[in-house]
Amino acid sequence: MAHRSDARERALSGGTASGVRGPIRASWSRARRHGLAPDAYLPPVRLDDDELARHREEHALTGIWPLLRRSLGGLTEDPGRLLFLSDARGHLLWVQGDHTSLRSAERVHLLPGALWSEDAAGTSGVGSALATGRPFQVFGAEHFLSAATAYTCTATPIHDPISGDLLGILDFTCPERHWQPLAIPLLDTARRLAQSELETVRLREEMRVRTRYVERIARRLGTRSAIVDAGGRVVRADPPGWLPNRIPMPVGEGPMLLPGGQLVLVERLASGGLFLLIAEDGASGPVTAAPMRLEALGLRRARLHVAGATHELTRRHAEIVTTLLSEPGGMTAKAITEAVYGPTGRPATARAELARLRAILGHRLASDPYRLTGDCEADFLDLDHALSNRDTTADTLLDRYRGPLLPGSTAPRVLELRAALHQRLRNRVVETADPDTAMRWAGTAAGRGG
């Protein structure tokens, strides 16, 4: 241990790094190039509570973490021992250990939300496993940051079993004096178990999506279609062979032109990144769709016209669609939560409702940020545009006004939009100074309310 400390002092003060393992010397060099200061620096905590919850919820290893905790639980039974799982950028997402060890680790920013990549934390188990793409062990003074030299870290990458993409880093950290020689084989066994479970979950999801796919395609006989993952891998094609095994371009929702010139329409089937791809056979120009239209004035159950069908929306779905129509540039899940549920709402609840709404909207509901695609219309937007046109008469405005926007809704954004429409319409009626128009306004529910 002492020789590592002496070598570290020499190397980090500009001397030679004799006696230091080659991978550690290389990692120290990378850390210095990133401008890190070993004695006056801690890794940044980049994710706040909301961002951390969103990262956890959306991460591919969310369902795998409980399995890893159970399989490696014996490693963290003794004080000072910790188990981490990071994302592919080095953000620590989950931490397992006893209460005292967790509090001690927090003092050096070994906590959920902290970034431990090499460019942010220098040489460490997580950061160096990310940098090298292979299992990595860092003993005490081999850490670049002085605050981490009391620990020994053993880390191994976890990859997507199908695409090969890096998903995250599994790390076991303990006091240097409690180094576990079996840590690397134990973590490697857990890694293989995790990747096997990921493959099993993926196959189950693909089977579920295939069933949903067959139901959707049964309504569109004669079309060429396929299930494709986000990386372009063709999971299933009908008829077989009309697509290659992989599409050499990113797959996203909405109209898409394949490299061979085929126009297709892409719709997300599952949150994990599986898409339904339908060929627009015979199309000679850009893929277009009829405008989506919402009717929400004076209706407790709003009506949505989309893809040739009319849907009576639940109150919550109507509030979400109305909110998205009012923000054509798109919104984050957090912003939708505040607009629909208010300050006490949870983004996870909004995301679940958006997932259910996607069954109606299909590719017309895009994500990242959440937004409505294609031509969108709404009766309340028509009224808003008419109110902005000074040539529109008050009588014409009243013809378009069937009642308040989503009466009964208490969603903050709906309340704001409803009040603004009411006030602007009232002002236009008052400006006319016409008794008949005033009487007509007074006869409406909104007019009677002032």
Residues in the chain: 450
Q: Which amino acid is at 195?
A: Q
Tokens of 333: 């899940």
Residue 254 has pLDDT above 60, yes or no: yes
pLDDT given for residue 192 in this prediction: 92
DSSP, residue by residue, 68-96: HHHHTGGGGSSTT-EEEEE-TTSBEEEEE
Rounded to an integer, the average pLDDT of 410-415 is 95
Per-residue pLDDT tens over the stretch 355-412? 888 878 877 888 878 999 888 999 999 999 988 888 888 888 888 888 899 998 999 9
Element (H, E) at 294: strand 292-295
CATH topology of domain 2-200: Beta-Lactamase (3.30.450)
Amino acid making up residue 94: W
Beta-carbon contacts of 259 under 8 Å, excluding residues fewer than 6 positions away, are: 247, 248, 249
Q: What are phi and psi of 33, to 5 degrees?
A: -65, -30
Q: Helix, strand, or coil here: 167?
A: strand
Q: Which residue has the higher pLDDT, 331 or 283?
A: 331
Tell me what pLDDT residue 286 has. Answer: 44
- One-letter amino acid identity for 377? E
Cβ-in-10-Å burial (0-12, 13-18, 19+) of 429 comes to: buried
Q: Are 290 and 338 in contact (CB under 8 A)?
A: no
224, burial (CB in 10 Å: exposed 0-12, middle 13-18, buried 19+)? middle
Backbone angles phi, psi at 169, to 5 degrees: -125, 130
- Across the range 144-161, mean pLDDT stands at 90
Partners of 175 in the β-ladder: 151
Sequence-distant (6+) residues with CB within 8 A of 164 are: none
E-only strand ranges, 230-284:
234-238, 254-257, 263-270, 274-279
Q: For residue 122, give the DSSP letter.
A: -
Handedness of CA 199, 205, 207, 213 (dihedral sign): negative
Q: For 106-127, what is each residue's pLDDT tens digit?
A: 988 999 999 999 999 999 999 9
Q: Which CATH architecture has domain 292-375?
A: Orthogonal Bundle (1.10)
Q: Which residue has the higher pLDDT, 357 or 18?
A: 357
Whose structure tokens read 């009588």? 395
pLDDT (tens digit per residue) in 47-95: 888 889 888 988 889 989 999 998 888 878 888 899 999 999 999 999 9
- The DSSP letter of residue 137 is E
